[in-house]
Structure 1
Amino acid sequence: MLFFRVVKETIQKRSVRLFFALFLLLIVLAGIIFWVNQKEVRQPEFGITYSTIYAQELGLDPLTVYQALLTELSVKLVRLPVYWSEVEKEQGVYDWDQVDQLMTLSNAHGVEVTMVLGEKVPRWPECFIPDWALELSEQEREQVLKEFLTIAVQRYQSFSSLERWQIENEPFFPFGVCPERRNELVFEEIALVSDLDDHPVQLTVSGELESWWQSALHADVLGFSLYRVTWNKTVGFSVYPLSPTFYRIRATVMKWLTQKVIISELQAEPWIFISLDEQTTEFWSELFTPDDFEKNVQFAEQTGVSEVYFWGAEWWYYLRMQGFDSLWNYAENLFDSQTVFVKH
């Protein structure tokens, strides 16, 4: 009996301690939420992710679209993926012509470019690896990847428009058609680029579906994706039940680990769940409207980040060419409303 009484008292004491620990934790969390929500919300600087691959898929000329975005919308922040599969279609033979032209245009228009390098860069199927490299062993593929990174960094590090490098895209998030790779490879890529050049390095994460701390620890800038509406075969369209405070708290905590936290992808186009030609352009235009655009902008502003990059600029131009210019016009007004900022 004495034994059971001692066990019972021990459990009760531990339960009391656990209760007070949880109570204290709730107070701390409530304090953090209150403090975060009291901070002044300033309008972020808006930019775009620009994909030449996606522009081509939409039947557009990538350089024409890019020039329109810079001249007509006055876009000043661009996240620009470089597609290894397009630049080095044959091993050791590099075609930098298109990237050169995009960077030259960026220089001429005072654009700040985040250049994305690696195997996994923005747009589906996520990984853009040359066919010849896929036939190599993992170790050999890693070596030729590093050679590609070295040549790219050395070629573009002196461009005045280059603001930072991004290494891979959401490298620790298992999404896309990609071969297996070592997590440590990302850190080796960062070390390589940092040894070659002193521009900041950015890593990106899923805003909702992965931890941020590992990427934050190894990056100067942490970017996260923010999608309000998603689609999958099981449930169709769904809206993430998250508030701006969720992202704001995570971003605030991550600033203890990295220099800056930004939104690297903000949804600004519909989720294309079937082939475009299976529905009318009018149908697609109604899946994501200027009202949806504005709601996403307002949501992003409340997260408190300093930079927001829209996902879908190529789509705005495509719709405009089809006679549906409402998204383009909304973006034009949004960029026009921004205060002109000095390159930092």
Structure 2
Amino acid sequence: MVQSRSSPAVSIQLTPMQIPEALPVAGLGFANADMDVAGRTLLLHPGHPSEMIVQVQNLEQHPLRVSLSVEGNFPSQWCQIGTEGSEIPPRGQMDAVLYFSIPDTFFEDQEAISPGTKNKLTLNFRSLVTLHIDPGTENEQIERSEYFDLYIRPYTAYMEFLPILYREVDFIGRFMKIFEQAFQPIVDSYNVMWANLDPLTAPQALLPFMAHWVAWQVDSVWDLQQQRRLIRRAVELYRWRGTRKGLRLYLHLYTGLPLDEDLPNEADKHISITEPFGPSFIIGDVQLGNAVLAGGQPYHFIVRLRSNISSGIINEQLIQRIIEQEKPAFCTYELSIENPTN
């Protein structure tokens, strides 16, 4: 049974967390709009959450058990209620939050923008908070807050470039959104133009064009990340072709093994390139039986790769192809690969 009282048992105060700078005039909004309507309005942007704080003050000398609900001419799934509990101590206060969330596609999904329809797009809604005191008992009472308005507007950053005088006009904000949707994608494309010119971040469709810039042969043998690294450092590979540094860099870009430039001993590196030169025939130091003339095989080098689990199995045929491409034509080599074992 719902009872009515001459004096309310609670007071309800609403505090919007986002107040619109511009309010619709009486002809475009609600007819009973007054001077303090801004304190009872909440601005909503599709895709951006907004909150209304509800403070309920208990005016009685005994605790009250309450239940909160929201009524309005908007879809119920737009609003979620968060409360601290269901009981207010004597002369105490309870805070609740109304979480409003409008779908991102609010404007696109409206039938009003479809051709041939005569309906108008609804942007302004009205709501109130209903408080049930001692619900489900014979002493149940219902208290309602003042009406508050919900204004759904598209978010536009272009309003920040206008004087404050123009921001106070609701129509201008919606009008500027048209220009923002038309020009902002062009502005954004210029802001990220650098990413389209870097092989590491450029779209995959641009990689053949960028490879043509540096005269790099795109090979299907390489995976996408390897191709990006090779195209980006192609000019550097050309500069050091035929040298130990160039070959080590090429093998590093393919295998992902570290360069180990901080290691002074060549044999300790993951990508080791050594030349088998020893001491030559020197009179007085040499002993018969172990002398080697010329110090080893000329124009010959040894490549040793020590792989790890993270780099995976190394393709030996592809490594030989890289060495043949990068080494001087008169040089010979030996290849040794230590693949990880499971």
TM-score higher than 0.5 = no
Name the structure with the higher helix share. Answer: 1
TM-score, normalization: structure 2?
Answer: 0.17
Structure number, greater radius of gyration: 2
Higher RCO by CA contacts (8 Å cutoff, separation 6 or greater): 1
TM-score, normalization: structure 1?
Answer: 0.17
Name the structure with the higher strand share. Answer: 2
